[in-house]
Amino acid sequence: MENDIHTLTIKLSKTTIKFIVNNNEKLFEHEIQVNLVLGYYWSKNLPVVEKFLELIETVIKTSIFRVFPHEKLKIRYDLRANDSLENASSIFIEFLEIKVDDTLFEIIGGPIILEGIDKRGNLSKVTSFRRKIKKIVEKEL
């Protein structure tokens, strides 16, 4: 159908990330309380960035499934960090493509940018250019 609407909207505030999935007449929203989630990861000594990326991917997958049941979801995003994921104080995530079965979802909204307190020492900051991350992540979920 020409008028089919398939969108993923990402809305950011200082403390939340809201994902809104629209499939024609069906709509589903999911909100992540960023501070609560990151605080939990830190308190449990979990790999914060990796776990946060897993959470975002899972939220997108399950949110889309609620309005568009599917077999497979392909996701592609730009990931950048100012150091290795374990030591990064700045993370940039921009979704480039989301394809559900053979249907492409339009992505509305800007990148997700997380910035925290940089606790790295001077030597670590100076040598971080070797560990910085800049890659395109492609997954099938």
Residue 108 lies in a domain: yes
pTM given for the model: 0.89
Residue 83 lies in a domain: yes
Cβ-count burial 9-39 (b if 16+ within 10 Å, e if not): ebeeeeeebebbbbbeeeebeeebebeebbe
Q: Exposed, middle or buried: residue 122 (CB in 10 Å: 0-12, 13-18, 19+)?
A: exposed
How many structural domains comprise the chain?
1
Residue 65 lies in a domain: yes
**Phi, psi (deg, nearest 5) at residue 6:** -135, 100
Kindly tell me if the per-residue pLDDT of 1 is higher than 50. Answer: no
pLDDT in tens, 76-135: 999 999 888 888 888 999 999 999 999 999 999 989 998 866 666 666 666 666 778 899
Q: Residues for the chain: how many in total? A: 141
Residue 58 lies in a domain: yes
Find tokens 């030597």 and name the residue: 123
Range of the domain at 94: 6-140
